């Protein structure tokens, strides 16, 4: 992960915009009693994914809506991919162009084509399971 010129902005695999747990809470734009722990709870519940770097765990911004809440379609993606890959690989999957999506990154289509992204996740899981 590398820090971009914008203060606090991080980029991850495939150029994904990333944020830390405090950034997840800040995106909600309201007081949250659980503070930065909220991202950990969402992660443990399978609502979001993150990957560890030298500073801690970072979360792809693409998995949150405009209000800062996890996109519901992330449950489908995580549910499909979790049996065949770890979280860091899921983050990389989000930032990598997929043939099932016409070469687009799943991260770029999560909000506009959630069914297609879910099917791409299931197809990837099937491919990896067959290769194992």
pTM: 0.84
- Is 80 buried (19+), middle (13-18) or exposed (0-12) by CB count in 10 A? buried
Nearest of 83, 76, 74, 67 to residue 26 by alpha carbon: 67
Annotated domain spans of the chain: 2-131
pLDDT: which is higher, 22 or 103: 103
β 51-52/2-3 pair status: unpaired
Q: Decide: 49 and 60 in contact? Cβ < 8 Å.
A: yes
Kindly report, residue by residue over 1-32, the tens digit of the pLDDT: 433 333 355 788 888 999 888 888 887 766 66
């Amino acid at each position: 992960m590398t820090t971009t010129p914008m203060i606090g902005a991080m980029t991850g695999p495939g150029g994904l915009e990333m944020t830390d747990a405090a950034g997840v809470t800040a995106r909600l734009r309201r007081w949250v009693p659980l503070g930065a722990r909220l991202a950990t709870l969402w992660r443990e519940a399978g609502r979001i994914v993150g990957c560890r770097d030298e500073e801690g765990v970072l979360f792809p911004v693409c998995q949150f809506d405009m209000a800062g809440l996890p996109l519901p379609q992330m449950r489908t993606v995580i549910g499909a991919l979790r049996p065949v890959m770890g979280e860091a690989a899921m983050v990389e999957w989000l930032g990598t162009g997929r043939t099932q999506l016409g070469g687009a990154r799943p991260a770029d289509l999560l909000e506009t084509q959630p069914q297609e992204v879910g099917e791409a996740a299931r197809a990837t899981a099937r491919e990896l399971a067959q290769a194992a």
